[in-house]
Each structure stands twice: as structure tokens, then as C-alpha cells.
Structure 1
């Protein structure tokens, strides 16, 4: 994305190396300090850039973290067509539920979304709706292959799946890991058959 410039944001085009350094620094600061103690100054210092660079490209620390999480999701969660709903859904949910220290990050972003209506819109549209669209793609392929009844309410299935994820993230009462993803996939498969 060298030369990438967010619409409506003045300034020089982004450097891909600086963008990656800032994302990595934000995630590392989150791991070390937690979301509440995260600051743009801390991100900038760890990334080796000026805080004005961050503010030129992102309006807030939450927006930096959101972009970093989008990159992580794209890298780690496969929505590829492996030929069957069982394999596609199990892979998608195993990778989605396998948390690599992301719980505090996602909880922090959700809290920020509750407090900041502008960020809430960005979080919903850029992160939550993208993750829903990826899962919808898995389910729609299964409809095309005849593995899910075309009359099945896919949006309700998506709500159920992500409802389990967010409930476990926010309440922290049960594991949120690859095994939980596999168990949920098995439950969904039984329910739609």
C-alpha cells in the first residue's frame, strides 16, 4: 500500500514500512500496557516515528488498533474454499476463535465503540461487518453446493456464531480457543442438518 492515502486525510502518502511499524508497535504496546494505558505517544516511540505521523494517518489510537486488527484478521483467518462446509466452517471458526493475546485488544475496541459513536461506526463497518461478510461467504458457498438449505436464515447463523465469540470475549467465563471454534462449528453443522 505504498502511497496509500486515506480519503479526506491531508498530508504525505503513507510509507508501507512506517504503517507496518506503527501497527506492530500498537499491538506490542497493547500486550505490554493494555488498552487503557495505550497512548499515541507510546505507539510512536515504539515505532520510531513522530506522533504527528500517526495523527496524520489515523484520528485516534483506536483507529490505529482497528487497522492493525484488520491486517491480523486478513493474515490469520482463512475463508478459502476447501470444498466442503465442514472443512470451511471448522477452519474459519478455529482460526477466528484462536486468540493470540487479542482478547484485551478486542474488548478495548468494543469499549471504545460504546463510548465513541464515530469510532463505533468505523468499528462496525470496517471490522465487524467485514468479519460477518467473510463468514457469510463460507455459508453462501455451502448453499450453492447444496449443503445448506437455501431457506436457512444465514444472518441468524452469523449472529449465533459471533454472539458466542463476543460473549466469551466480554464475559471471559469459558475458553475462547481453537477447540471452542471446532465445537461451535460441529454444533452449527448439526443444527443445519
Structure 2
């Protein structure tokens, strides 16, 4: 059955990009709570039905846009040391603090919608965890992490700081905070 087309109109990459770009633009202007599929469709120049054919909800559109954006803005450094790799990764990650309204909105949606929660966890949260795990496993293989350090707990600590600051907005979530956290982790694992 390879090569067979699914029923319906084929997906247009140009329309997909227009929708994702419109979603990001609408988010920046209106915020997640005021974001609507109607607004995204109007800005992208497509019908609502086109969006609903490809995504079940506004949260799913935003999640796809966020995934596309994170692939181009957050690097996975391999500079040969835990300190350098972690500094680069966390500085890039925390530099994305402008995404706060998007991430908080998606987390809120995940708390309300168990189906979306699964997608958010599997497609975004677990992918980000996997990147950090890769950095830590490389460092462990180089002997930079003491034996017995629980990598999963360490990953929870790093992302715990990120999400705590995102959700409460009580302290800066910027490149400098990412560097300070990286330094703390490096000192803790020795």
C-alpha cells in the first residue's frame, strides 16, 4: 500500500507554514487564552476546516509550532565537556523565555485535557528531556559524572527549575539563569 494517497486534499506545506506562522503571530499579539482557531485561520488565509483537518485543537497547532521553533532555536551542543555542553544547552533553553505565555498556556491545557496532556508530554516534554539525557550520558561516559548519580532525578531538577520559574514568574528565566543552573549541576555531579 505504499505510495497510495489518503483520501482528501493533499497537505500543502505552504498552508502548513502559514498556519504555524499565524499561530505564533497571534500568540505574540493576543496570548494563549485569547488565541482562536478562527483567528489563526484568518491570519493564515485558510479556512478553519483546513486547520481542523490537520490538528484537533488550537493547542495542537501551537504545540506543532513550538516543536518546529524549538528545533531551530535550541541547540544540542557536543563540545566535549559537561560544563560547555550544559552551559550551551541551558543558555539556549532559558533564552527562550519569550515563549513563557505559550508554554504556560500549553501546560494549562495539558492539565485540563488528558488527551492533549499525552501529546504534550510525549512530543515536547519527553523530547526535551531526551536531549538533556543525551548530554548527561555523554558526560557520564567521559567520567565527568560521579558513579551513582541518578540522571533522571538530575533531569527533573533542571526542568523543575525551568517550569517553576515559568509558572510562578518569581525570578528571572534568562540566559544568565541557565548558566547559573548549569554551573550548579556541574558542581553537584562531581
Is the TM value for this pair above 0.5? yes
Aligned to 2:42: 45
Work out the CA distance in 1 between the residues paired with 2:166 and 2:66. Answer: 15
Which string of whole-angstrom CA distances, capped at 9 and with x for unpartnered residues, describes residues 139-186 of structure 1? 111111111124210000000000000000000000111010000000
Work out the CA distance in 2 between the residues paired with 1:149 and 1:61. Answer: 44
Q: CA deviation at 1:100?
A: 5.2
Partners of 1:11 and 1:56 within 8 A in 2: no
Aligned to 1:110: 107
Specify which of 54, 58, 70 is matched with residue 61 of structure 1. Answer: 58
Aligned length: 186
CA RMSD, aligned part only?
A: 1.5
Work out the CA distance in 1 between the residues paired with 2:97 and 2:187. Answer: 28
Q: CA deviation at 1:137?
A: 0.6
1:122-137 superposed matches below 5 A: 122-137=119-134
Partners of 1:31 and 1:101 within 8 A in 2: no
Work out the CA distance in 2 between the residues paired with 1:55 and 1:20. Answer: 15
Partners of 1:93 and 1:182 within 8 A in 2: yes
Specify which of 180, 184, 188 is matched with residue 187 of structure 1. Answer: 184
TM-score, L = length of structure 1: 0.92
Work out the CA distance in 2 between the residues paired with 1:148 and 1:21. Answer: 44
TM-score, L = length of structure 2: 0.94
